Structure 1
Amino acid sequence: MKKLILLFLIIQSIGVNAQIKNGPMVGYSEMKEVMLWVQTEKPAKVKFVYWEQGTPEKKMTTDEIVTNKRNAFVAKIVCDQVTMGKKYAYEVFVDNKKIARNYPLSFQTQELWQYRKDPASFKFAFGSCNYINEAETDRPGRPYGGYNEIFKSIYDKKPDFMIWGGDNNYYREADWNTRTGMIHRNTHSRNVPELQPLLGNTHHYAIWDDHDYGSNDSDRSFWMKDTSLEIFKLFWANPNYIFKDQACTGTFQWGDVQFFMLDDRWFKAPNENFTGDRDYYGKKQLTWLIDALTGSSATFKVIVTGGQIVNPAKVFENMSNYEAERQELLKKITDAKIKGVLFFTGDRHHTVLQKLDRSGANYPLYDLTVSPLTSGPAKPVKEEDNSPIVEGTLFTERNFALCEVSGTLKDRVLKISIMDSKGVQKWTRDIKASELK
């Protein structure tokens, strides 16, 4: 009899856990609220219960919402009873039943440090190009994706947050022409067992590139761009979108570092169209960026975008292929005397740090390219032999960056460490804020 009861409880537990398809995932963190995300298997009522770590007797509950097919069974719910600078544990309830996970669930709020003390040290992960294999839609032959254990390696480093730098999933031919296909691809790419603990305990921010926007090298002419933006917003939990119904441009701050998430697809002219406005970011987005950089008091101002900016080689989809706008961007940064700017980019399926010395500027511009997470690696091409690569920083295997910001406010340092899929450090470099003035 006891065995039958135990079997029933196991079956019941499996049935309850099957209510969750993906997640939960921790989205943006601010001082007064945090967003949580989860995707259920079928229509369900969802809520989160959370409490400050160490005080489980003082539990708080979010609003309850109902997932449905139209919203891909996704729930995005704000935790708005939080306190600044605290760490929390949380649980997810589906149809009033707590869903157990075999790993802890936690999030944190940002600290109010301004005018009070030096900002705290923090660390974050960065990567791009995440291809999750699917036999029925992948090209024949050797699987292109692999090494999903990289997500456990990132989780084990305990970053405060992770930035996804584009090509966060890869739409296939069966996906990009329909909303159904886009929902399937995002759902499938997030349904990776090794990824779930990272989703549940690390805050996540994202920008897209061509493969999670549309087809390969897709641009402003992409016929499903409105739908693609809708699905991007559904599957990520960024804090803001500057242009609302256009582009996924946004910004967020962590400590004394501000991140500017730039969309290199929505306004971008086709690669082969050399007539009319040959936009990369477009005038509207570029104007916002310079205004936002000028008004920012952040120590480091990190521009996160899909394609390389500093690299002068006109290969693939580097911004150098749009030379007029690239020169305009670099000139405006110089003319406005904006301090602390550096670029974080992806796309290229290898990792490298490039350093551009600028005429008339007080400091060089760095471009950290980190790629791929799980996609197939690739090497630079011959045309890049003279690119301003920092010696010893080229890495051509699957990897991620672990970045740590530390030091007093007047002497902050950004330490970049490149880790392979097993979490082994391959190289490290320090960039001091004093070097970017």
Structure 2
Amino acid sequence: MLSDLTYREAQIWTQTEYPAFVSIHYFETSNPDKKHVTSKIKTTEASGYTANFLLTKIEPNRNYTYAIEVDGELSSEKHTFNSLNYYYEKEPPPDVKIAILGSHYAVEPEFEPPYRKLGGGYGIFESVYETQPDLVLWAGNTAHLRKSDIDSQNGYFKRYSYARSFVQPKELLAEIPNLGIWSYNDYGINGSGKEMPLKQTAKKAFSTFWPKSALVAHQEAFCYTHKISDVELFFLDVQSQRKTHISTDSKVAILGKEQIEWLKDALITSTANFKIIVSGAPILNPSKEEKNLSFAEDEKQYLLELLKTHKIPGLFFVSGGSYKGELTRISHSTHYNFFDLTVGPSTAMPLDEDNELNFFRIPGTNTFEQQYTILEIKGDEEDRFLKMQIFSLAGLELWSRTIKASELLVYE
């Protein structure tokens, strides 16, 4: 899997079936005689037989080819990827296409409840690959842990491995950068948070299968940023800082004050035209369900007031961890509107009906079927816009909306 991509580095994640010494051979596709080889990494049971390689001989605006060597044998299977387009002060920002996947459930027969179908429709990955996105986002519930998986590190690793094996074609993972954030079914016991007994095991498992070098080092939360063209993504951890069982000296929290302060500072210093905040739980949905940020109402209001007070332009929210899709809009008299695109499930089964009272939902955007989203940022330099399209398992467009960059500006 292409697990990260910056202007002058790339990361490749791989997994073996047994302990092995692994390395990556790679070269610029137009110059195959100049090959580079990473250092060998030994995959072990303690790391789920995974390895994440840093490719340091990467330069912008080029195409690269790579192959994997296992125990001295170089695979004949090759994959290619494009490095990022370095456009600054040379040309307008390039258009960007981002595919967004919702909850993923890999059916494992011996663990499934009788007479219930919890997952299916795995052909959706082929549909996503055919759109040829520049980036794939997994917006929470990437492995869908069950009770059998959350009482040991081996349980976590086995479930993550099994879930990833369902992603076909391989090229979707191997040739396009894939980034993920967790939601409650990636973490552990439902309703658990900051004090969960196996919290460190959960974090190790997720970061093993979703490695990201740019994690914020001083943060306990699993948060990070990623840049592509004139877009910067800010990934929020809605699990490990969660405190929903309160006492007399504490308040309900989901993000935690430290993570909110980090987000504020990161947004203020960002120069991106579009600042997309990605989380594994709906941010703007007003329903006080425990999975929504509104469950911690004081924290939510504190966050939104910070964003308005600092007059940060270009904000857009993407949220996962849901079994239905919708677009939520909060209107302000003194600020531009906030939008939260909640992504419905991709291979997990959707809800049959909606019991949430989301009176900020935009009519016509409520969807109850397996789906994926294509988010495009495009247009002339002075007329950029964000277009979202939601597609069904069959590839039919369910709905679409367009938001201009000029609609996300603060006017004095």
TM score, norm. by length of structure 1: 0.90
Q: Is it true that 1:140 corresponds to 2:110 in the alignment?
A: no
Identical amino acids, percent of aligned pairs: 32
Instruction: Give the Cα separation in 1 of the matches to 2:282 and 2:137.
Output: 16
Q: Does 1:41 align with 2:3?
A: no
Aligned residue among 207, 232, 243 for 2:206: 232
* Distance in 1 between residues matched to 2:359 and 2:380, nearest whole Å: 34
Which residue pairs with 2:7 in the alignment? 31
Structure 2 unaligned blocks of 5 or more: none
1:3 matched to which residue of 2? none
Shift of 1:34: 0.2
Which of 197, 204, 219 is the aligned partner of 2:171?
197
Identify the residue that residue 242 of structure 2 maps to in structure 1: 268
Residue 78 of structure 1 deviates from its aligned partner by 0.9
Confirm or deny that 1:58 pairs with 2:64.
no
What residue is the counterpart of 2:55 in the other structure? 79
CA shift for structure 1 position 115: 1.9
Ranges of 4+ aligned residues in structure 1 off by more than 3 Å: 271-275
Give a deviation string over 1:42-76, Cα, whole Å, max 9, x none: 11111111222333333222222111111111111
Tell me if 1:352 matches 2:346.
no
Taking a change above 3 Å as real, the CA distance of residues 380 and 221 of structure 1, as seen in their structure-2 partners, is farther
Which residue number corresponds to residue 421 of structure 1? 393
Residue 359 of structure 2, aligned match among 381, 387, 391: 387
How far residue 160 of structure 1 moved from its aligned partner, in angstroms, is: 1.0
One-letter code of the match for 2:374? L
Q: Residue in 2 aligned with 1:331? A: 305
Q: Following superposition of structure 1 onto structure 2, how do residues 216-295 of structure 1 map, counting pairs within 5 Å?
A: 216-243=190-217, 246-270=220-244, 276-295=250-269
The offset of 1:379, in angstroms, is 4.8
Tell whether the 8 Å contact from 1:352 to 1:370 is kept in structure 2 after alignment.
Answer: yes
| Cα separation, 1, equivalents of 2:247 and 2:140 | 23
SS at match of 1:415: strand
Partner in structure 2 of residue 20 of structure 1: none
Aligned equivalent of 2:368:
396
Distance 1:290 1:193 in 2: 35
- Bigger radius of gyration, 1 or 2? 1
Instruction: Rate the CA distance shift 1:333–1:379 in 2: closer, same or farther, 3 A.
Output: farther
Find the residue that maps to 2:400 and give its secondary structure: strand
Q: 1:416 to 1:273 in 2, by over 3 A?
A: farther
Looking at structure 2, the residues matched to 157 and 374 of structure 1 have their Cα atoms a distance apart, in angstroms, of 18
Paired position in structure 2 for 1:92: 68
Aligned with 1:365 (options 335, 338, 359): 338
CA contact (8 A) 1:29 1:108 kept: no
Q: What is the CA deviation profile of residues 293-332 of structure 1, one whole-angstrom value per residue up to 9, with x for unaligned ones?
A: 1111111111100111111122342111111111111111
1:408, CA displacement in angstroms? 2.8
CA distance in structure 2 between the partners assigned to 1:424 and 1:55 by the alignment:
41
Q: Secondary structure at the match of 1:93?
A: strand
* 8 Å CA contact retained: 2:343, 2:372: yes
Q: 1:184 to 1:176 in 2, by over 3 A?
A: same
* Structure 1: gaps of 5 or more residues: 1-24
What is the DSSP-based 3-state SS (H/G/I as helix, E as strand, rest coil) of the residue aligned with 1:333? helix
Name the counterpart of 1:303.
Answer: 277
Count the aligned residue pairs: 409
Deviates more, 1:125-134 or 1:211-220: 211-220
Kindly provide the CA deviation profile for residues 77-111 of structure 1, in whole angstroms up to 9, marking residues without a partner as x.
Answer: 0111111121212111111212244xx61222212
- CA apart distance, 1:138: 2.2
Work out the CA distance in 1 between the residues paired with 2:399 and 2:73: 46
> Offset of 1:339 from its aligned partner?
0.5
Matches of 1:167 and 1:271, distance apart in 2: 22
The question of whether the paired residues in 2 share the 8 Å contact of 1:154 and 1:423 is answered with no
Q: Structure 2 counterpart of 1:403, which letter?
A: L
Instruction: Identify which range, 52-61 or 185-194, moves more after superposition.
Output: 52-61
Once residues 207 and 192 of structure 1 are traced to their aligned partners in structure 2, the CA distance between those partners, rounded to angstroms, is 18
Give the distance between the partners of 1:273 and 1:53, measured in 2 at CA: 59
Q: CA deviation at 1:279?
A: 1.2
Q: Which moved more, 1:344-353 or 1:387-396?
A: 387-396
Structure 1 residue 163 displacement after superposition: 0.8
1:216 positional shift: 2.2
Q: Rate the CA distance shift 1:174–1:59 in 2: closer, same or farther, 3 A.
A: same
1:193 positional shift: 5.5
Q: How far apart are 1:334 and its partner, in Å? A: 0.5
Q: What letter matches 1:370 in structure 2?
A: V
Q: State the shift of 1:380 in Å.
A: 5.3
2-side partners of 1:82 and 1:423: how far apart? 35
User: Match for 2:349 among 361, 372, 376?
Assistant: 376
Structure 2 partner of 1:185: 159
Q: Does the 8 Å contact 1:206/1:238 carry over to 2?
A: no
User: C-alpha separation between the residues in 1 aligned to 2:248 and 2:34?
Assistant: 62
Q: Structure 1 CA distance, aligned partners of 2:251 and 2:85?
A: 43
Deviates more, 1:305-314 or 1:92-101: 92-101
Counterpart of 1:106 in 2: which secondary structure?
strand
